[in-house]
């Protein structure tokens, strides 16, 4: 089980870094990187789901059990939203591809491109919530990987400081990237 959790954490970190890099179309070679890494991301995402399929099956079978907590139900709903929206991002990315799949003609490429971008901004928020719900697992995995048995006070302060820096940077980026405008576009694209 330890090895699988190590793989899960490594995969999650790689997916997180890639997903953030996708928001800058000029990074690491531009569109070619975006499309090729996007296909790698799709494979990593499917792997992530397969590694957690046991949880999905257990919760699906208990979904109408009154004893199932609302936190688990909410997490399940969030994961379902992520599944639908990530699948849309992957499929729409293939539809508007100019490097990997240049011969695909979908008709209204403008709509696919706009919704590909807009839904990606929505998914960024969903991923933030997803990570937040699993944050204790991430902390525990990091402790196990670094052989830290007991939290030291200075480590807590460093972790809180890093969290604050990430939060402030995120707020800055929300402003710089017109995040709210993109989020509104994801709603209006389907409305």
Share of the chain above pLDDT 90, in %: 16
Q: What is the mean pLDDT of residues 15-20?
A: 82
What distance in Å separates the CA atoms of residue 76 and residue 61, rounded to the nearest whole number? 12
Half-sphere exposure of 155 (CA within 13 A, CB side): 9
What's the pLDDT band for 98 if we cut at 50, 70, 90?
confident
Q: Are 109 and 95 in contact (CB under 8 A)?
A: yes
Q: What is the DSSP letter of 28?
A: G
Helix residue ranges per DSSP H, the chain? 2-21, 31-51, 53-62, 70-95, 109-133, 135-145, 153-176, 179-190
Q: Are 125 and 174 in contact (CB under 8 A)?
A: no
Residue 84 predicted with pLDDT over 80 = yes
pLDDT tens-digit readout, 156-184: 677 667 767 766 766 676 666 676 776 66
pLDDT of residue 159: 65
Q: Measured over all CA atoms, what is the biggest interatomic distance in the chain, rounded to whole angstroms? A: 58
Q: What is the mean pLDDT of residues 80-92?
A: 93
pLDDT tens-digit readout, 111-158: 888 888 888 888 888 888 887 777 777 777 777 766 666 666 666 677
pLDDT tens-digit readout, 55-71: 899 988 888 888 888 88
Residue 189 predicted with pLDDT over 70 = no
Least confident of 36-45, 68-77, 153-162: 153-162
């Amino acid at each position: 089980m330890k090895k699988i959790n190590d793989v899960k954490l490594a995969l999650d970190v790689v997916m997180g870094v890639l997903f953030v890099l996708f928001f800058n179309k000029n990074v690491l070679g531009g569109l070619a990187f975006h499309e090729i890494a996007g296909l790698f991301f799709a494979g990593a995402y499917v792997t992530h789901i397969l590694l957690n399929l046991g949880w999905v099956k257990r919760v699906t079978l208990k979904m109408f059990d009154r004893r199932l907590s609302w936190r688990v139900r909410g997490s399940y709903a969030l994961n379902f939203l992520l599944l639908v929206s990530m699948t849309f991002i992957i499929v729409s990315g293939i539809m508007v591809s100019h490097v990997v799949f240049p011969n695909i003609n979908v008709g209204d490429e403008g709509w696919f491109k706009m919704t590909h971008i807009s839904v990606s901004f929505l998914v960024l928020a969903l991923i933030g919530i997803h990570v937040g719900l699993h944050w204790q697992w991430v902390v525990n995995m990091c402790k196990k990987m670094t052989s830290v048995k007991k939290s030291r006070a200075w480590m807590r302060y460093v972790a809180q400081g890093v969290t604050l820096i990430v939060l402030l940077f995120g707020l800055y980026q929300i402003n710089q990237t017109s995040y709210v405008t993109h989020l509104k576009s994801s709603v209006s694209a389907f409305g």
